Chain A
Amino acid sequence: MDLLRAIFIDPFAQMIGSPDLLAQTIWEGFVGGVLYALIALGFVLIFKASGVFNFAQGIMMVFAALTLVGLHEKGVPAWVALILTIAVMYALAVGIERLVLRPLVNQPDIILFMATFGITYFLIGLGELVFGGNPKSMITKELFLPGGSIDLHIPGGRVQLQKLDIAAAAVALIMVAGLALFFQKTRIGRALRAVADDHQAALSVGISLNQIWVIVWFTAGVVALATGIFWGARSDVSFALQVVALKALPVLILGGLTSVPGAIVGGLIIGIGEKLGEFYWGPLLGGGIESWLAYIIALAFLLFRPQGLFGEKIIERI
């Protein structure tokens, strides 16, 4: 009886009792969600264009952030480091296309999926080898990311918003918007969309598949960098972050592997959902439920929409 009460009544009472806390939690979740969404975005880009389920996306994020910080540690000015990092991500994209995707073209999905595991391991090793394994802190100031916080007064109290988080949200939104435009307006963007449905179509647009892959992986790399910067700023930069990155997976299946808006919405649902869950129900279970709540939420959704929120419905024909 108490348990039921603890599950179904107390939390809501709490929420109503102190809306500011609720708002605060939701905001936290929102920001987390946005960042999940960004990682998921990287997945979606690549999956749409090359049908590869890129497990390495999370690592690419960490790797990017690590490169940025690492370079700066080695005395490279921040903005140069930023440009260099972008260059590195490009090189990475080219390398992956040449050495992994091209030789494996026309292999079953599972094989490409496994290949991205290979990339993951490689990047972990490389990153630590070059920049050392110990956690680093993100160079927020140097990148002119705002610090401190602003207080927002709402009925029943106030909500504290980290300027960094606002920036993160803003950047995220800009990127999403940018990508949307990119997809809608540019020739390459259209080509990318075409590839998603049918490779021949893409070729007819006059861009070779290989180029497209490079572009996509590079874009994903840049997204990863952005994400990395903000995650890095919120916690330390180290490969421990990859677990966070894995959170993008439930976001992904929730939103549907091929849908950009799905990634955003999924990200928010997961982000906010798990924060609320952790904050209000976590204590009941001894806390730490963040680690799996996201998956359970996603799973619950999947049982009703096996193809995700925005994924196309599959009509089985024979």
Chain B
Amino acid sequence: MFYREAGQYKTTYAADMAIFPIRQDRYGLALILLIAFVAIPAFGNQFLINTMMIPFLILSLAAIGLNLLTGYTGLLSLGTGAFMGVGAYACYKLETFFPQVNILVWIVVSGFVSALVGVAFGLPSLRIKGFYLAVATLAAQFFLEWCFARVPWLVNYNDSGAIEVPSETLFGLSVTGPTATPVTRYLVVLTIVAAMAWIASNIVHGRIGRMWMAVRDMDIAAELIGIRLLRAKLLAFAVSSFYVGVAGAMMVFLWLGAAEAEAFNIDLSFQILFMIIIGGLGSIVGAFFGATIIHLLPIALRALPAMVGLSIDAARIDQLTFMITGILIIVFLIAEPHGLARLWQTAKQKLRVWPFPY
């Protein structure tokens, strides 16, 4: 309905291969960015920014990372939480070793650390497929979780056994720790997430993305046209873990402020997995949709009774949230196994051909 594609013809391949070839889509994106970068910081309250947006963005990033591995390359992983942990602990160690270095640098570097670990645990993926691989990734999950809990070196031998985030400044503006204002942290997170989402979509639209999808759809054929499976899969593990790691680092440094091993347990892994399944496997935007449902929905559910004036004790609400989440997952899977991203696609298509049905 809003699309006016007549006259939007492509005279170069560059234009034809653009990620947003339709002008109206570009406008839409611009609008969203405008809201995210200007409107929300300007008008958003503590609750919106701290409880909703920051976690939403961080989890979305993790979901993007997992989607690169599971959605695009077809390698099912249940170890996301642990890899986020790797990012977080790496960042903590690096930051405490070299406090003078800019924290953002360390957040990115910790992504590389997590990438290395990811490659290590990705090695079996050459021989192991499907659910077997999924379980193999559980090995990573539990082993790493154990490391976080049992290796005091990781927490600099502090007795709390947790990592606490000191205040760090960026251009004289404090971005981490208790002194940092939510808005600053939000903007930092937003910038990183936006940039990395952009990069991710670049990658999946290019040679590497095709390579991954080829491995996913028909690994034999992929190998016979010259794709080295191990390389492709390890690269997927590396890039994926990088994203997840950065998300983990941000989770502790820009959101929670402190974390124990518990924070990175298997439930976190599952949460991220739900996000990409519900959001849509093999779709960047899907990661954001998924994060919306899985993260924001429970918040909404908790807020709901209060709004309608009911007073239910927290435990009840938690239990209800569990049940509803479970039901929703099933309902979504039945309604659209390809996730919200596909629904989005169909809706968009309908608008493009409006008022015609096809």
Instruction: Indicate yes or no for A touching B, C-beta below 8 A.
Output: yes
Among B132, B151, B270, max chain A CB count under 10 A is at: B132
B333 touches A114 (CB 8 A): yes
Q: Complex Cα distance A20/B274, Å?
A: 48
What's the nearest-Cβ distance from chain A to residue B59, in Å? 17
What is the size category of the interface that chain B forms with chain A? 35 or more
Chain A residues, CB < 8 A from B273 = 114, 117
- The answer to the question of B319 belonging to the interface, with a C-beta cut-off of 8 Å to chain A, is yes
Given A285-B150, A306-B127: A110 in contact with B76 (beta carbons within 8 A): yes
What's the nearest-Cβ distance from chain A to residue B338, in Å? 9
Pick from A108, A109, A115, A298: contact of B135, CB below 8 A: A298
Q: Complex Cα distance A291/B146, Å?
A: 7
Stretch touching chain B among A60-68, A167-175, A207-215, A249-257: A249-257
Q: Which residue of B lies closest to A302 (CB)?
A: B128
What's the nearest-Cβ distance from chain A to residue B138, in Å? 6
What's the nearest-Cβ distance from chain A to residue B13, in Å? 33
B330 touches A100 (CB 8 A): yes
Q: Complex Cα distance A286/B152, Å?
A: 10
Chain A at the B interface: mostly helix, strand, loop or mixed?
Answer: helix
| Chain A window 288-299, contacts with chain B (Cβ cutoff 8 Å), 1 for yes, 0 for no | 110110011011
B322 touches A104 (CB 8 A): no
Q: Which residue of B lies closest to A306 (CB)?
A: B127
| Chain B window 195-239, contacts with chain A (Cβ cutoff 8 Å), 1 for yes, 0 for no | 000000000000000000000000011000000000000000000
What's the nearest-Cβ distance from chain B to residue A161, in Å? 29
Pick from A125, A299, A306: contact of B139, CB below 8 A: A299
What's the nearest-Cβ distance from chain A to residue B251, in Å? 22
Stretch touching chain B among A30-38, A126-134, A228-236: A126-134
- The answer to the question of A316 belonging to the interface, with a C-beta cut-off of 8 Å to chain B, is yes
- The answer to the question of A308 belonging to the interface, with a C-beta cut-off of 8 Å to chain B, is yes
Q: Complex Cα distance A110/B129, Å?
A: 13
Q: Complex Cα distance A308/B129, Å?
A: 11
A298 touches B139 (CB 8 A): yes
B326 touches A120 (CB 8 A): yes
Given A115-B330, A303-B127, A308-B132: A125 in contact with B150 (beta carbons within 8 A): no
- The answer to the question of A53 belonging to the interface, with a C-beta cut-off of 8 Å to chain B, is yes
- The answer to the question of A99 belonging to the interface, with a C-beta cut-off of 8 Å to chain B, is yes
A296 touches B330 (CB 8 A): no
Within 252-306 of A, Cβ neighbours of B (below 8 Å) are at: 252-253, 257, 285-289, 291-292, 295-296, 298-299, 302-303, 306
Chain A residues, CB < 8 A from B274 = 114, 117
Known: A125-B325, A128-B315; 19 extra A-B contacts, CB below 8 A, are A100-B330, A107-B333, A109-B130, A111-B277, A118-B326, A120-B326, A121-B325, A129-B320, A250-B135, A288-B146, A289-B146, A296-B139, A298-B136, A302-B128, A302-B132, A303-B124, A306-B127, A306-B128, A318-B220
By Cβ-Cβ distance, the 4 closest A-B pairs, closest first, are A125-B322, A121-B326, A122-B326, A125-B323
Can you list 28 A-B pairs, Cβ within 8 angstroms, ordered by A?
A: A109-B130, A111-B277, A117-B273, A118-B327, A118-B329, A119-B326, A119-B330, A121-B325, A125-B324, A128-B318, A129-B320, A133-B319, A243-B266, A249-B138, A257-B131, A257-B132, A286-B150, A288-B150, A295-B135, A295-B138, A299-B124, A299-B136, A302-B132, A302-B136, A303-B128, A316-B220, A318-B220, A318-B221
